[in-house]
Structure 1
Amino acid sequence: MMKTSIIFYMMMIVGTIITVSSENWMSMWMGLEINMMSFIPLINLKPSKSSSEASMIYFLIQSISSVIMLGSVILIMNNYMVNKNYLILTISILMKMGSAPFHLWLPKMMTVMSWENNIIFMTWQKISPLYMINMLEFNYVMNLTIILSTLVGGLGGLYQTSLRKIMAYSSISHLGWIMAMNKMKDKWLIYLIIYSFMVITMCNYFFKKKLLFINQLFDLKMNFNQKINMMIMMLSMGGMPPMLGFLPKWIVIEEMINSEMFMITIMIMTSMLTLYYYLRIMFKIMMIQSTSNKWTMFNMEYSNFMFIINMLLPIVVLMY
């Protein structure tokens, strides 16, 4: 099983490399297909009813969007109704990413996947579609998608008790911000790298503690140091200054404040909703009884390293 998983991980990486290094849409489509067919076996490495359901949802959505994409690419190559075909191509890429209004499958799929696969899905699997979106010119569909993604991501996670669903709606919200950063072309990669780091630290903690629902937080035994670090990671995911997670949002706000005032206002307001449901998780963490004295908080651990990284924003600003 270990050798098999290594092969599929390598194929998944190769598929992404093919997409980002291609100069035509057909080669990019081929890279996406290799990436998809490599990720599906990774979902089923530990066969179960939930993994089968997740792989089926992923396969159906990706297949439908791939057919739409292939049709639009063929028409573009034949110079037939080029502008309309680029619009269809944009919609097919948005379906692959799970951005609003094509998001309904994403929370359900992430609920039945393991934390390891969710990490891959929220980080690595976003690289190829975002690169393709970056190659297209901005149109009204992208502007509408940005607004809907941040709105759905903010409202969708308010009354969720599943941590995986909360991360799913948070991913949709952040996807809207990343797409807004596409207007600045190459800077979208900065947002994705910072977001990937935050997702890996958060989901890795949930995975180690075997957490699936908010109510399970009450059963944890956490010392004061772990509480502080967990809260810092939550605030960073919500984009609260002066945490590192605020840096990419700050860049987007600075660039769009003069040209897209209406859009950035909605994005900031919906970002507050995202921060709210992270604060709700934080309150439950604060209510957990500490398992050690507060003066032990400065003992160096792996969690201290996460704390230091998430508090780097002031240093980055001073250097800038």
Structure 2
Amino acid sequence: MNMTKLFLLIIMMMSSLITVSSNNWMGMWMGLEINLMAFIPLISSSKDKKSSQAMMIYFLTQSLGSITFLFSILLNSMLFISPMFIMELTKMMIMIGLMIKIGAAPFHMWLPEMMSNLGWMDCLILMTWQKLAPLTVMNSMIPNNMIVYFSSGMSAMIGAIGGLNQTSLRKILAYSSINHGGWMLLFMSMNSMWYKYLMIYSIMMFMICILFYKKNTYFINQINSPSYSMMEKYTYVMMMLSLGGLPPFLGFLPKWMVIQSMIKSNLNLLLIVMMLFSLITLFFYMRMMSSMILLYSLINKYSNLENKLPLFSMMFMNLSLPLFSVISFF
């Protein structure tokens, strides 16, 4: 990593911390804009037409979200003594501006197209760190629950259906990010521990993106290649099952917390909808896994144990962290 990228990463992280720690709207907006200005040169550093296209998509959508957010907070400050419905309207517009920024449905169209033109490390940042500041701003205001419920249900549906016929791994993970974003929004409206969901999701995405980055894998047919050792295949299978939310893997823990909160809030119908669409996402995860395990099972007999240690650590995290987390509840 060169010094320019390191400098941009530091600015991007500091700007998110500015947004998180700010106690006024303008400070939050300033942090979001600095974050935007740092991430754009980070994704456009390569001399590739695809990265330039991704940069333009990101700039236009984030600008639209920023304009909506800024207009809403200015309108809210000018109409301090105003009818209640106008105050609710400005809050709704703030939520819409932030949903555009994180790619929540129905403002999700830009995310899969952009991610298909990015490298794996940029995709990792976009799916994890770039969600932190907008979600924190959403959490700091009194949410309009109907908007959150609608966006959560739409995100779960679009994230599930959109990933069914995809062959690009980056697009599949983009739709998976939309689906998990719906769960995060729902958790945020009921519980202040939504950041635990984001943290666990970030750990899962880090392991998946690192594996694909090291193997230079971008499409499903590349996963089916015999170049993957059996240990790498098992690690990949465990990470996909974890991302799908199956017990006893790491990804089950945040969904379990959301389900508990929804039962306590009597959101039974929405819970059924979210779980049904999660089953659809699990279907296309398992479709990828079955073709890899059943059709290609070449084992490298002379592989070195030293090369397997990172894979063992990934498997250990997926299996042991849920156990430690459950124990910590008691």
Under TM normalisation by the shorter chain, which class is it? over 0.9
Counterpart-to-counterpart distance in 2, 1:187 and 1:6 = 30
> Cα RMSD (Å) of the superposition?
1.9
Measure the CA separation in 1 of the matches of 2:205 and 2:98: 22
Alpha-carbon distance in structure 2 between the residues aligned to 1:114 and 1:295: 28
Unaligned runs of 5+ in 2: none
1:225 corresponds in structure 2 to 231
Tell me what 1:311 maps to: 319
**How many correspondences in the alignment?**
320
What displacement does 1:299 show?
8.9
Match of 1:195 in 2: 201
SS in 1 for 2:224: helix
Give the structure-2-normalised TM-score.
0.93
Which deviates more, 248-257 or 133-142?
133-142
3-state SS of the aligned residue for 1:113? coil
Deviation at 1:298, TM superposition (A): 11
Deviations for 1:15-58, whole angstroms, at most 9, x for unmatched residues? Answer: 10110000111110010000001000000111210000000000
What CA distance in whole angstroms lies between the structure 2 residues aligned with 1:265 and 1:220?
A: 39
Against the structure 1 CA distance between its residues 84 and 308, is the aligned structure 2 distance closer, same or farther, given a 3 Å change threshold?
Answer: same
User: Judging changes above 3 Å, is the alpha-carbon distance between structure 1 residues 272 and 6 closer, same or farther for their aligned structure 2 residues?
Assistant: same
Moved over 4 A (4+): 293-300
C-alpha displacement of 1:296: 9.1
Cα distance in 2 between the residues matched to 1:87 and 1:220: 51
Task: Report if the CA contact (8 A) 1:225-1:298 is conserved.
Answer: no
Alpha-carbon distance, 1:64 to partner: 1.2
* TM-superposed deviation, 1:103: 0.4
Q: Distance in 1 between matches of 2:26 and 2:149?
A: 26
Partner of 2:10: 10
Please, which runs of 5 or more residues in structure 1 have no aligned partner? Answer: none
Residue type of the alignment partner of 1:263: L
Q: TM-score, normalized by length of structure 1?
A: 0.95
Which letter does structure 2 place at the counterpart of 1:161? Answer: T
Distance, in Å, in 2 between the alignment partners of 1:199 and 1:299 is 21
Contact 1:19 1:128 in 2 (8 A): yes
The answer to which of 184-193 and 116-125 deviates more is 184-193
Matched, 1:113 2:113: no
Aligned to 1:86: 91
CA contact (8 A) 1:154 1:170 kept: yes
Amino acid at match of 1:290: L
How far apart, in 2, do the equivalents of 1:247 and 1:99 lie? 22
Task: Report the CA distance between 1:147 and its aligned residue.
Answer: 0.4
Provide the rounded CA distance (Å) in 2 between the counterparts of 1:132 and 1:290: 49
Please state how far the C-alpha of 1:230 moved relative to its aligned partner.
1.3
Contact 2:148 2:189 in 1 (8 A): no
- Whole-Å separation in 2 of the counterparts to 1:63 and 1:26: 16
How far residue 84 of structure 1 moved from its aligned partner, in angstroms, is 1.0
CA contact (8 A) 2:112 2:174 kept: yes
Task: Find the aligned partners of 2:19 and 2:36 in 1 and give their Cα distance.
Answer: 12
- Structure 1 match to 2:247: 241
Indicate the larger mover: 148-157 or 213-222: 213-222
- SS of corresponding position for 1:186: coil
Instruction: Return the alpha-carbon distance in structure 2 between the equivalents of residues 52 and 84 of structure 1.
Output: 36
Q: Is the Cα–Cα contact under 8 Å of residues 154 and 271 in structure 1 kept in the other structure? A: yes
Q: CA deviation at 1:289?
A: 2.2
In the other structure, the counterpart of 2:275 is 268
